[in-house]
Amino acid sequence: MLDIEITEKQNHDIENGTKLFIKAYGMVRSTEDFLRTAVRKIMNRFGRTDLAPAVEIILKELTMNAAKANFKKVFFLENRLNIDNPVDYAEGMNQFRDTMSETMFFDYGRKARAANLNVIISMDYDQDRVVIEVRNNVPMSPDEERRAREKLRTAMASTDLTQLFVDNIDESEGAGLGLMLCLTTLRSSSIDPRMLSIATDFEKETVARVEIPLHGAYVPARARWQKSLAV
């Protein structure tokens, strides 16, 4: 099953463009293979094949997290559980975690497509940087947003990566490990983990963004923004 919508223009853009958009509904093998190919072609184009494995890991994890959030909405609706009720939420997440499997990704990818719950991946790239955004049209709740920020803060402050994973895998969410892996992957590639951010408007969508510098002279958007505030 191919759960992404690919056009001839998208295949052309990987080789010749500056921005690539992909719509997905899950993360099955064919989706992963296409994203891996796109990343390798883009990084090869700018002479940074050394960064390709790290970018592949981050893109895969962010896409999986976004897809799981969509699947979770479908799962709660199917089981008549109120995602905003703490008791229902705890019960639903336990059931959802137990249901997670490769087969579940296949089945819920189809259900997400039927419900118009998608993941939009954009890769904006030039000789200076690659900016990846992964959007899903399910907003985080205030509690989910708070937990995501806590995970990010904890990972930023940690210097013991092994202990970080042991202490902070959130068994109820399933997305915590993915965020930790993204941050540690950035660190291992000598990229500031603050280049990764997650935001929601609490109404329509959740957005994960990561900026990958391709050379040491590049000043990331976050640093340029902070500098502008100081002027």
Condensed to tens digits (0 to 9), the pLDDT of residues 67-124 reads 999 999 999 999 999 988 889 988 988 888 888 776 677 889 899 999 999 999 999 9
| Type of residue found at 166 | V
pLDDT of the residue at 112:
94
**Tally of domains within the chain:** 1
pLDDT of the residue at 30:
82
Residue 132 φ/ψ, nearest 5 degrees = -110, 130
pLDDT of the residue at 2:
44
Q: Residue 174: left if φ>0, alpha if ψ -120 to 50, beta else—which one?
A: left
CATH code assigned at 180: 3.30.565.10
Measured CA to CA, the distance from residue 42 to residue 47 in angstroms comes to: 9
pTM: 0.87
Measured CA to CA, the distance from residue 225 to residue 160 in angstroms comes to: 30
Measured CA to CA, the distance from residue 169 to residue 147 in angstroms comes to: 12
- Spell out, as residue ranges, where the chain has pLDDT lower than 70: 1-13, 102-103, 159-176, 227, 230-231
Q: Residue 224 is part of which domain span?
A: 4-230
How do beta strands 206-213 and 196-200 pair?
antiparallel
pLDDT of the residue at 155:
73
3-state DSSP helix/strand/coil percent for the chain, to nearest 5? 60, 15, 25
Residues 148, 179 contacting (CB under 8 angstroms): yes
What is 141-186 written as a DSSP string?
PHHHHHHHHHHHHHHHH-S-HHHHHHHH--TTTS-HHHHHHHHHHH
Quote the tokens at residue 12: 């052309």
pLDDT of the residue at 132:
97
Q: Nearest to residue 143, comparing CAs of 155, 135, 151?
A: 151
pLDDT of the residue at 159:
64
Measured CA to CA, the distance from residue 14 to residue 42 in angstroms comes to: 6
**Segment holding 75, helix H or strand E:** helix 52-78
Farthest-apart Cα atoms in the chain, separation:
54
Quote the tokens at residue 204: 């329509």
